[in-house]
Chains A and B, each alone.
Chain A
Amino acid sequence: MSRSGPRAVRAAVAVGSAAVLLAACGGGGQQDAASGGDWKPTKPIEYVAPAGTGGGWDTLARTTARVLDESNLVDRPLRVVNKPGAGGAIGWSYVAKHQKDPHKLFVTSPPILLVPLAGASGQTYEDFTPIARLNSEPLAYVVKANSPYKTFGDLAKKLKASPKDVSVAGGSGPGSLDHVGLAGAVQAAGADASKVKYVPFDGGGEALTSLLGGHADAAVAGASEVQPLVRSGDLRVLAVSSKERSPILPETPSLTETGVDYAFDIWRGVMAPKDLSESQIAYYEKAYAEMVKQDSWKKASEKLGWTDAFMGSKEFGTFLDEQNKEYSEVLTSVGLKK
């Protein structure tokens, strides 16, 4: 699935936002009692996907909104609103304008760290309140089925010896997801990440097509993206980027198993505007904690290749700090840190 989904937002959104506006007019007078542990939303929640429809963020927003609504975990409906543009930055600056607004949430993943690190966003993750991490998915390092590289070690060795002869395709721009996941692993395997020929394509699909056609020698893409082509025997996975094996590709060794001390996850979660009260954070945290236990959530996750990796607000916040430090180091080593 293209992570840099199309920019267009749709009429559906217009309908949604109209509903939000109407509702906002209706419940306008009420003020939220931020005291005590029993805060509840008083109007529909605007749930921002900082990308167009059809992409990863949109899918996450719509799926979680549906599960939360169906199982009545939130007292007001969630309305998904798409704010595409600038790799997420347009959506983030929109949410950032609504400080302390407890009726806004947005879905998030590593770009909330990577895009600001590359200097392409006015906001950073610290401008928002982490609510919960929901799931994660590893990257997969793949080659064509007939490639001479059998293990990640083979590829790393070649990248070390003659980086000019190997091109690795990825589905996101330099300094973003796929590139960082590749550079970190290559670095940990002892090669010079700044010399690796990383060829950015628009989305994992295009990168994999280029690999299949023999235009690139290897590719890095989300585990769920490569899965159908691996099952059909067109591609071979050298390793997945997580510490443990992924349920999506159970037969593939993890990087740790292949002797490379590096892990990279495409985690996904939910954030809110800055300065929410404790009880507001607790309200949403609890709702999402319940949500991941629902059968309909489990079913959807299985279809989409997501592995649950729940973290509450505090833990998610610490995790973000750590990740940010790690990404920052990798980006510095490939010379993309701004």
Chain B
Amino acid sequence: MDAFSHLMGGFGVALSPQNLLFVFLGVLIGTVIGMLPGLGPISAISLMIPVAFTMDPVSAIIMLSGVYYGAIFGGSTSSILLNAPGVAGTVATSFDGYPLARKGQAGKALSIAAIASFIGGTVGVIGLMLVAPSLSSLTVSFGPAEYFALMVLGLTAVVSLSGGNVTKGLISGTVGVMIALVGIDSQTSVLRFTFGHEELYEGVEFLIVALGVFALAEVFAMLTRRGQGAQTGAISSLRLNKREVKEISGPTGRGSVLGFFVGVLPGAGATVASFLSYSLEKRLAKDGKTFGKGNIKGVAAPESANNSAAVGSFVPLMTLGVPGSGTTAVLLGALLVLGVQPGPLLMTEQPDMFWGVVASMYIGNVVLLILNLPLIPLFAKVLKTPQALLLPLVVVFCVVGVYGQSFSTFDLWLLIGFGVLGFLMRANDFPAAPLILGVILGGLMEKSMRQALLISSGDLSTFVTKPISAVLLALAAVSLLAPVFGQLRRRRRGRALPQDDGAGQDDPDEQGAKVDANVTRP
């Protein structure tokens, strides 16, 4: 097989002592930076770019790629331990990861995240190796209409992220979309909702919203609880038993495949993949109701998807020279400076480069697993930090993460504002997850819709006459209506069997992912 011999050549490149060292360095730095709340792959790569420019191009790219997927790999740590996601792709991981940690199962959650990340990453690399050239046609088949449909499908996850109260979930999601509208409108260059602040011209950075409504709001909530629910739980339960392994194998496998294909689409990437995977698993699972309260499948699904998507995003980068995300745009910039022009000819003109990077990813993923697993008990100990120390630390990390991105004190006020908003939402049982989903998907949805309508000269039928778009919209409709039918059916059954009334709507335990995170334990 041709790909096989190329891959062997690639391993020849990647296994040279020098490149091995750079893979190791790359993933180490990436995973460490990724673990810090507020710092994600972009920060990690940018930090390493000046170093990379002094290196041989192949080694430099091997290292920078390592930094990238290393940061995604490590990104779940702060989501799980502190409810402070540093990257959009790991937001979904915090939905179940953080409740698990609060139940004293941080070790388990981190192990699952590491294993799912490893599998997702590896599946992604296999995909990249086998089908990358043919996948570029999938990449280009997504135009504005198709993206719009994909974003609509993504937003239907609001229903499954709303916990018990769909109305409050929808309100929360709508506010999220509204936040996404702030800034210079990309289609007309008109300023919207900026109130004369230059800082708002490019919109509200996702990270500020996420750190505000998740991490900071959690800090406020803990303060009002006055230390109740402080961590004492055992964190020794690092190992998974057979049943658990079996339980997560399905979500991890599906998440990996789904993640790769979504990752291949520029603009969609790890975030959409992780949300889609999470909400898919929640629907498929028999114990879907316990999602958001610390279900291990809720960690495995998004983690496998986001790592696989991170690798998938190399497909448009390498085969078309098109960056699919902010991170790959930075990576592309670095490649150009190093004299590598990614594009359709990269694989034939510089096979060493392409296959060397692919092979290094296999190695990098193994290294990440080996690096991360032994450190988990150590990380989990973070939770043993007395609250009087932990809470200020979380605040410091949030502030550093936000300020380090923009050097703007305005953004810090925004952070506090969103913290308060998150706290108030939580106090009134509004789930925060739909809000964040709205912020992430809303902007892209609006932009694609308007691009599509511009191209079709305002003809709305463009969304249903294009096959991919039509299928995605149909899926969205099904996923919106399915729970309604399900409820009707249950209600009918409920009438027959009055004792079975826990279904859906009124279950107080289902009031959103975060609210019930503070269940008191013995």
Contact = CB atoms under 8 A, between A and B. Distances in A.
B339 interface: yes
Given A9-B407, A201-B451, A228-B344, 7 more contacts: A7-B202, A8-B46, A11-B43, A11-B46, A54-B329, A87-B184, A205-B323
B332 to A, nearest CB: 6
Contacts of A89: 198, 201
A192 to B, nearest CB: 16
Contacts of B333: 1, 5, 53-55, 58-59
Interface string A210-221: 101111100000
Given A10-B47, A12-B47, A86 B320 contact: no
24 contacts: A2-B329, A5-B329, A10-B46, A10-B404, A11-B33, A11-B39, A11-B47, A11-B404, A14-B404, A53-B46, A53-B49, A53-B333, A54-B46, A62-B53, A84-B202, A89-B198, A205-B322, A208-B322, A215-B455, A228-B341, A228-B342, A232-B343, A303-B338, A303-B339
Contacts of B323: 1-2, 203, 205
Given A1-B333, A9-B407, A11-B46, A199 B451 contact: yes
Interface in A11-30: 11-14, 17
**What is the predominant secondary structure among interface residues of chain B facing chain A?**
helix
B392 interface: no
List of 10 A-B pairs having minimum Cβ-Cβ separation, nearest first: A228-B343, A215-B143, A10-B46, A54-B330, A54-B333, A6-B326, A86-B201, A213-B140, A232-B344, A205-B322
Interface size class of A (residues with CB under 8 A): 35 or more
A63 interface: yes
Contacts of B455: 167, 197, 199, 215-216
Contacts of B341: 227-228
Interface in B140-166: 140-145
Contacts of B229: none
Contacts of B140: 209-210, 212-214
A210 B142 CA distance: 8
A231 B468 CA distance: 30
Given A54-B46, A203-B329, A232-B345, A210 B457 contact: no
B270 interface: no
Contacts of A5: 326, 329-330, 333
A227 B336 CA distance: 12
A10 B267 contact: no
Contacts of B454: 167, 197, 199
Interface stretch (A33-41, A173-181, A282-290, A312-320): A173-181
Contact of B266 (A206, A300, A304, A336): A206
Given A85-B406, A173-B184, A90 B199 contact: yes
A210 B144 contact: yes
Interface residues of B, number: 63
A213 B144 CA distance: 10
B395 interface: no
B269 to A, nearest CB: 13
B457 A7 contact: no
B205 interface: yes
A55 B43 CA distance: 14
Interface stretch (B186-194, B217-225, B364-372, B480-488): B186-194
Contacts of B336: 1, 59, 303-304
B218 to A, nearest CB: 23
A73 interface: no
A213 B141 contact: yes
Nearest to A10: B46
B321 interface: yes
A14 B454 CA distance: 42
